[in-house]
Structure 1
Amino acid sequence: MALLDGDEVVYVAQVPSRHSVRMFTEVGRRVLPHTTGVGKALLAQAPDDEVRAILSRTGMPAATEKTITTPEDFVDALARVRDSGYAVDDNEQEIGVRCLAVPVPDSPTAAAISISGPAGRVTEEATERIVPLLKEIAAELSAALATTASA
Structure 2
Amino acid sequence: MTESKTTGGVQSVERVFDLLNIITASGGESSLSELAAKSELPLPTIHRLLRTLVFLGYVRQLPNRSYALGPGLIRLGYTASLQLGAYAQPVLRRIVDQLGESANMAMLDGHMVVYVGQAQSSQSMRTFTEVGRRAHAHDTGVGKAILATLPESQVVSIVSSMGMPTPTKKSLGTMEDLLADLEKIRERGYAIDDEEQEVGVRCFSMALPEAPTPTAISVSGPVSRVDWDFGERAVPLLREAADELSAHFAQVG
Q: TM-score, normalised by structure 1?
A: 0.96
* Structure 2: distance between partners of 1:50 and 1:143: 26
- Determine the C-alpha separation between the residues in 2 that align with 1:88 and 1:97: 11
**2:199 matched to 1:98?**
no
Question: In the alignment, which of 138, 149, 153 is matched to residue 34 of structure 1?
Answer: 138
List alignment gaps of at least 5 residues for structure 1.
none
Matching residue of 1:20: 124
1:105-127: per-residue Cα shift (whole Å, max 9, x none)? 21111110001100111111110
**1:78 pairs with 159, 179, 182, which one?**
182
Equivalent runs, 1:57-76 vs 2, <5 Å: 57-76=161-180
2:223 to 103, 106, 119: 119
Equivalent pairs counted in the alignment come to 149
- Structure 2: how far apart are the matches of 1:122 and 1:137? 19
Structure-1 separation of matches of 2:219 and 2:229: 15
CA distance in structure 2 between the partners assigned to 1:134 and 1:70 by the alignment: 28
SS at match of 1:14: strand
User: What secondary structure sits across from 1:49 in the alignment?
Assistant: helix
Structure 2: unaligned runs, 5 residues or longer: 1-104
Q: Which runs of 4+ in 1 moved over 3 A?
A: none
Identity among equivalent positions (%) equals: 53
More helix by share: 2
Q: Does 1:3 align with 2:99?
A: no
For the aligned residue pairs, the C-alpha RMSD in angstroms reads 0.9
Q: Measure the CA separation in 2 of the matches of 1:29 and 1:81.
A: 24
Q: Deviations over 1:82-105 (max 9, x none)?
A: 000000000000000000000012
Where 1:35 maps in the other structure, the secondary structure is coil
* Structure of higher RCO (CA pairs closer than 8 Å, 6+ residues apart): 1
Please report how far the alpha carbon of residue 147 of structure 1 lies from its aligned counterpart in structure 2 after TM superposition: 2.9
Counterpart of 2:75 in structure 1 is none
CA distance in 2, matches of 1:12, 1:55: 21
Q: What are the superposed Cα offsets for residues 3-42 of structure 1, whole Å, 9 maximum, x if unpaired?
A: 0000000000000012221101100000010110000000
C-alpha separation in 1, matches of 2:248 and 2:156: 32
Residue among 140, 150, 160 paired with 1:56: 160
One-letter code aligned to 2:239: K
SS in 1 for 2:221: strand
